[in-house]
Structure 1
Amino acid sequence: MVEVLSAVGRLCLLSVSFIVIFFLTIAAYRLWFHPLAKVPGPRLAAISNVWLAYHVRNGRARELGKHLHSVYGSVVRVGPTEVWFDSEEAFRKIYGIGKGYEKSEFYFVSELKAIGGLEVDLKMWMHIIAVECLGAMVLSWSPGYIKNRSDGGTSTQSYLGWRRKSVFGLFPTVTKLSFLSKTLGRTFSNLWGVTFATPKGFKPFFTPVYQRVSKRVNNALRSTNFPAKRDERKDLLAELIRLHKDHPDFTENYLRRMAVTNFGAGHETLCSTLTAAIAMIGSHPHVHRKVASEVRSVHGDGSRNNGSSIPYTLAAIKESQRLYPVIGMSLSRKVPAGGTSLHGHFLSEGTTVGCNPTALHRNQAIFGPDADIFNPDRWLRRDGPEQASVMERVNLIWGGGGRICPGRHLAELIVFKVVPALLREFDVEITTMPKESDMPCYFMAMMTGVKVRFQPVSEPVVMTM
C-alpha cells in the first residue's frame, strides 16, 4: 500500500513538474524567441492575454491605451500575438482599403423642460434619446423611455455586458467553447468576476424591436392570396422592405438583420457620442457660449447643408469624439499572408494588430502639441490645410479605412440634430464630472457618472466673438 501511494505521489509530482516546465517553456519562447519578442511592451503581456484581460476587466482600457504608448512609444506588444499602434503610418497600413486586413422638433426637448432643471444622469438621458431617435427613424415607434423619464436600466445592463464581452474577447477559444457549454461560460465568467445579475422585472427593448420588425416584414411580404395591409409609414424599415422587393438579392434574412442591427450597433455608440459631446461642451464654459450663440442664431437646427451654418458646433462634437471615442481598445486586424513591417518590426502572418483610438487620437504628431486638450478650433484652422486633412483622415471615430461604420451617416444625422437642439433650448450645467480613472472603460467606452442640469432658456444669446 505504501509503495502504491509512493508511486502515485511520484506520478503527481512528475505531472506537476511537466506542467510547470511546459508553461515555463511557453513563457520563455514568448519572451525571448517569439517573432514579436523585440516589440516593446510589458513583459507579462508578452506571456499571456491574462495581463490585458485583468486591466480591461477593471475598466482601465482608455487609461491603458494612453499610458502604454507614452511609456513604450508608437508600437506596443499587449499580448502574445497582439500589437497596438498609435501612428499615422500604422493607421494607413492597417486600415487602408484593399490592404487585406480582415475583419421635425425632437419631442424630448419638452420632456426635459418639464423636469425643471433637476440634476440627471447624463448617460442615461443620452441613452433615452438615442433609443427614442432610432425607434422613430427605423420603426416609427417609441419605447416609452421619454414618457417614463427612464430607460429601465438598459444602458447600465448593456455596459455591464460590455465588461464581460471585453474579457471574453481576449480568449477566442474559450468564447467559442462557451457557445457549446454554458457551464464553461459561467465558470469562466465567475472566475474573472464579470458575471452580473439581471434585475427582477427587467425589460430589454430588443424584444419589442424584434416583434415589430417581424410583424411588419411578415405583413409586407404576404403572398398574393393574402395581400398585405397598406402601410403608410415612411421610415427606414419601409425603405428596407422596398429594397428587398425591388432587389431580391437583398434577401429577407438580410432585411430582418439590417433592421435590428440599427438598434444593436447604434444605441450604445450613439449614447457614447452624445454623452461625450454634451459633457465636454457643458464642462468648458467658453465652448458652451460659442456653441449656444451659434445654434441660437440660425433657423432650425443648423444641420442642413452639411452643417455649414454651425461649423463651430460640429467642430466641438468632432473634438469630443476625438478625446472620448466610442471604442476604448484596439480595432484589431490580422496581418495578411506574407507579413508586414511597421516601425522597424516585422510582423508575421496572423499577428493581431491595430491602433488604439484613445492613444492615436492624442498623438501630438497628428493633432498638435495640445492633443490632450479639448480644443474645437483645431478642426477649423485654415493655416495648415495639409495637417487638417491628416486629422480628418487619421482617426477612428467611425472605424477605419475600408471597414468604416456603415451606419455612420444615420448616426451623424441624429447626433448633428440632437446636440444643436439641446444647446439651442438649454444651458447645460455639468454638476459632476468624474476623473477619467473613475469612468470604467472597456472595448466599448463611455463617460459614466456625469451629472447634469438642463436649464431651459427663453431668449437666444448674442455673443461678441
Structure 2
Amino acid sequence: MSATTIVSVILLLLLAACLIHLVPYLRDPHALCSYPGPLLAKFSDVWLGRVAAQGHRSETVHELHKKYGTFVRLAPNHLSISDPAAIQDVYAHGNGATKSNFYDAFVSITRGLFNTRSRADHTRKRKVVAHVFSQKSVLEFEPYTRVHVSALFTQWDRLCELGAKGLEGKEGEGWRGEGGRLWMDCLPWFNYLAFDIIGDLAFGAPFGMLEACADTAPVAISQEAAMASYGSSEKGMPEITHCPAVKIINERGEYSASIGVLPPSWRPWLIRWVPWYRRGNTSVEMLAGMAIAAISKRLAAPTERTDLLSKLQQGKDEDGRPLSARELTADALTQLIAGSDTTSNSSCAIAYYLAANPDVQRKLQYELDVSLGGIDDSVVTYEQVKRLPYLEAVINEGLRMHSTSGIGLPREVSAGGLTVCGRFFSEGTILSAPTYTVHRNEEVWGRDADRFRPERWLEQDKNELQKAFNPFSFGPRGCIGRSLAVMELFIIVASVFRRYCFVLEELNQKLETKEGFLRKPVVCKVGIARRTSNT
C-alpha cells in the first residue's frame, strides 16, 4: 500500500470520526445544545471517559457546576443537574427513569440487583433480597461486626505497645512509635476490618486480613467449575489462587466507571487494544472469582449460622423461585463490594476529619464517655450508641463531606419524558444529580459547606438537610444495605474513638482521594494513642 493510499485512508477515517460526532450534535435529538459544558463533551463521550479514568470526576464536575451553574452537559446525551430537588425528580419512585447502559460495565457473572437495568427484573430481585437487610437481620449480624472490631483493637494495641518502646515496623509495614504515639496509615486497617466483617457476614468466615495484617483473599481459577461445585462434597473445593483484594476492587471500580461512560460498541476494542482497560477487565474477572471462591468454601461446609449467603439462599420471589447459582453469585459479589468498599472508605474519611478537627473529636469523646460510663475497653453495641445525637451528626457530616458515592448515578429518561427542576427532557436523555456537588450546596448547607462541622446537623432542620443528603442514593434503586452500613459505622466510629485519640501526621494534611465508581481515600497517615482518664 502506497504512502498516498495510507494518508487517504487516515483522512477518510478522521472525516468519518468527525461526522459521527458532528451529525448528532447538529441534529440535537434531546435538545441539549443550549446547555453549557466543556466543548469536547458536547460532541463526544471521550471527555467524560478521560475524566473518569483520571480518578477525580466528582471534583471536576463540581468545578464545572461552580463555573456554569445548575445544568452542565457532560457528554452528548448526559446532563448533570446540581439542584438538590433533582434527587427527588431523577431517582424517586414513579418517575419511570431506568439505569443507563453505564451499568453494563459492572456485569461480570450475570446481572444482579445492582446492575440489572430492567425494572421488572429489579423488582423481582429486590423482593428476593429485601429480607436479607431487614432490621431484624441487621441486628442478627451485629455480633460479627463487634468481633472484628475487637480483633482490630488487638492489633492496634499490640502496635501501640511496640511503638511506646520507640520501635518501628519492618520495611513495608508502615508503622513506627514516636512521642508516645503509634504513627501509621490507618486506611489499610479499615480495609482489613471491612473485608473481614463482610466475609463473615456474607460467606461464613472472615478473609483473615486482620490476622495476617495483609491484603489477601482467595480467588477461584475456573469460575464455571467452581460454580458447578456449589454444595457438592464429591467435587471438592475449587482450585484457587490468592490476590490483593483491595487493589483488585479499586482497579475494577476505576475501569468500570471509565469504560461505562463510553459507547458500548467501543468497549470490546478498548479491552483488546488498550492495556489499562485490559488490566481493568482482568480485575473484574478476578473479583468475580473472589466471590465464587468464598461461596464455594461456605457451601462445602453447611452450617446453621445466620449470614447473608444463607438468607440469599432462602429468598424466593412471588412465584416461589429462588435465585439461580449465577444470580446467587452475582448478588453475593455485590454484597462483597458494597459491604467492604463503602464501610472502609467512610470509616477512614471520618477518622481523618476527627483527627483534623481535635475539638470535634473531644466533643464526641465526651458524649461517649458520659453516655457509656467513661473509657472502657469493650466494643460498643449498636443499642448503646444509635441514639447519640453528636455521634450521628459526626457520621452524617463525614458522609456528606467525603461523599464516597459522589459521581451522580446516571438514569435514562423513559417513554413520555421527565420534568426535572422545571425543565422537560425527552425519552432517552441521560440525567444525573452529582452527590458531591449537592452535598456542597451553600443554599442548603450554609456558606461553610466546604467545612467539616457536625454542629450543622444539630442547629438546622434535619428534615430539610436530609432532602439534600444522598450518601446511599435514593428511591427504588437506593442502597438496599443502608441499615447494615449505618449499624457498622456507628459501632466502628464509637468504639474506635472511645478507645483511641487520633492526630494527623502533618499539620494541614489533606485527605487525598481517587475515584472510580466510589471516591476513596488514597492514604491517611495518623498518630494514635490509647485514651486515659486525662485524654
- TM-score tier by shorter-chain length is 0.7 to 0.9
2:274 to 145, 167, 188: 188
Q: CA deviation at 1:111?
A: 1.4
8 Å Cα contact 1:296/1:460 also seen in 2:
no
Q: After superposition, give the CA deviation of every residue in 1:111-139 in whole Å (9 maximum; x if it has no partner).
A: 11111143222221111110111123233
Amino acid across the alignment from 1:42: P
Residue in 2 that maps onto 1:407: 481
Q: CA deviation at 1:99?
A: 0.9
**CA distance 1:423–1:64, shift in 2 (3 Å):** same
SS at match of 1:77: strand
Q: After superposition, give the CA deviation of every residue in 1:326-384 in whole Å (9 maximum; x if it has no partner).
A: 12322000011122344565422111110111111111122222211111111122xx5
SS at match of 1:266: helix
Q: Identity of paired residues, percent?
A: 24
2:466 to 392, 409, 421: 392
Q: CA deviation at 1:258?
A: 3.6
8 Å Cα contact 1:244/1:252 also seen in 2:
no
Query: Is 1:210 the counterpart of 2:292 in the alignment?
Result: yes
8 Å Cα contact 1:434/1:449 also seen in 2:
no
Residue in 2 that maps onto 1:223: none
Where structure 2 has 5 or more consecutive residues not aligned to the other structure, the ranges are 100-142, 161-180, 217-243, 373-378
Q: CA deviation at 1:275?
A: 1.3
Query: Is 1:455 the counterpart of 2:529 in the alignment?
Result: yes
2:435 to 326, 344, 357: 357
2:74 to 75, 78, 81: 78
Measured in 2, the distance between the counterparts of 1:460 and 1:414 equals 28
Residue in 2 that maps onto 1:303: 382
Where structure 1 has 5 or more consecutive residues not aligned to the other structure, the ranges are 179-183, 221-230
Residue in 1 that maps onto 2:346: 273
Measured in 2, the distance between the counterparts of 1:123 and 1:340 equals 42
**CA distance 1:345–1:444, shift in 2 (3 Å):** same
Measured in 2, the distance between the counterparts of 1:215 and 1:17 equals 56
**CA distance 1:366–1:33, shift in 2 (3 Å):** farther
Query: Is 1:333 the counterpart of 2:421 in the alignment?
Result: no
**CA distance 1:13–1:144, shift in 2 (3 Å):** closer
SS at match of 1:376: coil
2:83 to 69, 82, 87: 87
Measured in 1, the distance between the counterparts of 2:18 and 2:391 equals 56
8 Å Cα contact 1:121/1:450 also seen in 2:
yes
Measured in 2, the distance between the counterparts of 1:60 and 1:166 equals 11
More divergent stretch after superposition (111-120 vs 43-52): 111-120
Amino acid across the alignment from 1:250: P
- Is the radius of gyration larger for structure 1 or structure 2? 1
**CA distance 1:450–1:244, shift in 2 (3 Å):** same
Query: Is 1:263 the counterpart of 2:336 in the alignment?
Result: yes
What TM-score do you get using the length of structure 1 for normalisation? 0.82
Residue in 2 that maps onto 1:169: 260
Amino acid across the alignment from 1:110: T
8 Å Cα contact 2:32/2:77 also seen in 1:
yes
Residue in 2 that maps onto 1:227: none
Q: CA deviation at 1:255?
A: 4.3
Q: CA deviation at 1:266?
A: 1.7
Amino acid across the alignment from 1:425: R
Measured in 1, the distance between the counterparts of 2:418 and 2:398 equals 33
Q: After superposition, give the CA deviation of every residue in 1:379-424 in whole Å (9 maximum; x if it has no partner).
A: 122xx53xx2132133320012221101111111211111111001
Quote the RMSD (CA, aligned, Å): 3.1
8 Å Cα contact 2:256/2:280 also seen in 1:
no
Query: Is 1:118 the counterpart of 2:114 in the alignment?
Result: no
Amino acid across the alignment from 2:62: K
SS at match of 2:274: helix
Q: CA deviation at 1:455?
A: 1.2
Measured in 1, the distance between the counterparts of 2:473 and 2:281 equals 32
More divergent stretch after superposition (13-22 vs 368-377): 13-22
Q: CA deviation at 1:144?
A: 1.7
Q: After superposition, give the CA deviation of every residue in 1:9-61 in whole Å (9 maximum; x if it has no partner).
A: 4x666655544444444444455552211011111111111112222222221
